[in-house]
Amino acid sequence: MNDKESALALCPYYQRWDGKQRIQCESCLKRTRLIFTFRSRAEAEKHKRRYCDQYDWTMCEYARQMNERIE
């Protein structure tokens, strides 16, 4: 992953993508991280483009749960 990849993310919970199969998001617990592992790089990239990099990031189930927890 490079800085350009990270800059594309609009989801406030997104932290990083390892460029392979994992996307790291902000966790609701202190001093922890939440890492989603996908079956393939293509699936991880598809998820990132569909949710993390879009203004409609609230369609991601995890982002919706985080929003509900904050409210």
Q: How do residues 10-21 score in pLDDT, each as one tens digit? A: 999 999 999 899
| Residue that the structure tokens 């199969």 belong to | 21
Q: Does pTM surpass 0.95?
A: no
User: Looking at the 3D structure of the chain, how many domains does it have?
Assistant: 1
What is the mean predicted confidence (pLDDT) over 58-70? Answer: 92
3-class secondary structure per residue, 19-70: CCCEEEEECCCCCCEEEEECCCHHHHHHHHHHHHCCCCHHHCHHHHHHHHHH
Q: How do residues 22-43 score in pLDDT, each as one tens digit? A: 999 999 888 888 999 999 999 9
In this structure, what token pair is assigned to residue 3? 């800085």
Q: Where in the sequence is the domain holding 50, given as residue range(s)?
A: 3-70
Confidence of residue 1 (pLDDT cuts 50, 70, 90): very low
Strand partners, 26: 33
CA distances to 36, 48, 56, 67 from 5, rounded to whole Å, are 17, 10, 18, 24
